[in-house]
Structure 1
Amino acid sequence: MSPEGHDPPLWFDDDAGPVVRPYAMTRGRTRSPAQSRLDLIALVVVEPYAEDTGVVLDRSLSPEHVEIVELCDLAPRSIAELAAGLDLPVGVVRVLVGDLVDDALVHVTRPVPPAELPDESILRDVISGLRAL
């Protein structure tokens, strides 16, 4: 009973918030061995044999692991997209993807850093040269 003399409201379903805390999904881990490669724009790609052999149905995988593989099977997804799609914190998604990388079910590719892209003037020169042909 509250001091006002009535019972506090009961929470059901969505009002109660998440049932499983994020640290339970990662077994208390905040990092994975592959963590250094997993920035927000890193793309997660399913290994070809993972979808063909039914490895996804492995009982050792959590539902979140399976959902990540299924989402990335449709198209490569960034860590940020996975976090938004699964409604999980980015840190949790990084740990889960790191587990999948360690199990060789997915691999992570990184976009080319802007510093390594060709200079715009070089591209304009190439286009001008092609037009002159």
Structure 2
Amino acid sequence: MTLSRRQRHSGQDAPWYDDQAGRLVRPYTISNGRTRPTAHFDLMTMVMATGRRPASCQGPDYAQVLALCGKPVSVAEIAAHIRLPAAVTKVLLADLVDWGALTARAPAAVAAGPASRTDRALLEAVLNGLRKRL
């Protein structure tokens, strides 16, 4: 007999899941109904834990995000790992930045110039390779 996902994750801090329905706690409840973060985050913004923990336990989603941020990681990667929409993930990340538990850094800009031009031949080779595989 195999256990359902809900039975396997029966700890107090485990997210609520149902095998057919998926996550039982809706994203807007995780962000307390907020849809806009207090800081600007791009999907490529890199975040990293500072080592400080929030004064009070904020819930399993915050703990899960902090566990993922031991090294620099992008907002998009975090959203994918915790299986939440990017908008909700950005609200959680903004809270953690406000509490001093995370630092955020915008992605480095690439200088425009001859060295940064896209190589057309390389792009065509990639396109041809994709066409052959599909």
CA RMSD of aligned residues (A): 2.0
Take 2:19 and 2:25, find their aligned partners in 1: how far apart are those partners? Answer: 13
Q: CA deviation at 1:40?
A: 0.4
User: Which ranges in structure 2 are unaligned for 5 or more consecutive residues?
Assistant: 1-16, 117-134
Between Structure 1 and Structure 2, which shows a larger proportion of helix residues? 1
Paired residues, number: 100
Identity of aligned residues (%): 36
In structure 2, what is the equivalent of residue 68 of structure 1? 65
Extract unaligned runs of 5+ from structure 1. Answer: 1-11, 122-133
Of 73, 94, 103 in structure 2, the residue corresponding to residue 98 of structure 1 is: 94
CA distance in 2, matches of 1:42, 1:66: 19
Match of 2:19, SS state, is helix
Greater relative contact order (Cα < 8 A, sep 6+): 1
SS at match of 1:30: coil
1:118 and 1:60 map into 2 onto residues whose CA distance is 48
1:15 aligned counterpart, secondary structure: coil
Q: Do residues 107 (structure 1) and 103 (structure 2) align?
A: yes
Shift of 1:117: 5.9
- List structure 1 runs of 4+ shifted beyond 2 angstroms: 116-119
Kept after mapping to 1: 8 A contact 2:28/2:34: yes
Distance 1:46 1:117 in 2: 32
- What's the TM-score, normalizing by structure 1? 0.67
Question: TM-score scaled to structure 2, two decimals?
Answer: 0.67
Residue identity matched to 1:77: V
Deviation by residue 1:5-60 (Cα, 9 ceiling, x = unmatched): xxxxxxx92112221000000000001211x2x1100001111x42xxxx26x543
Larger Rg belongs to:
1
**Match of residue 26 from structure 2:** 21
In 2 relative to 1, CA 100–43 (structure 1 residues): closer, same or farther, beyond 3 Å?
same
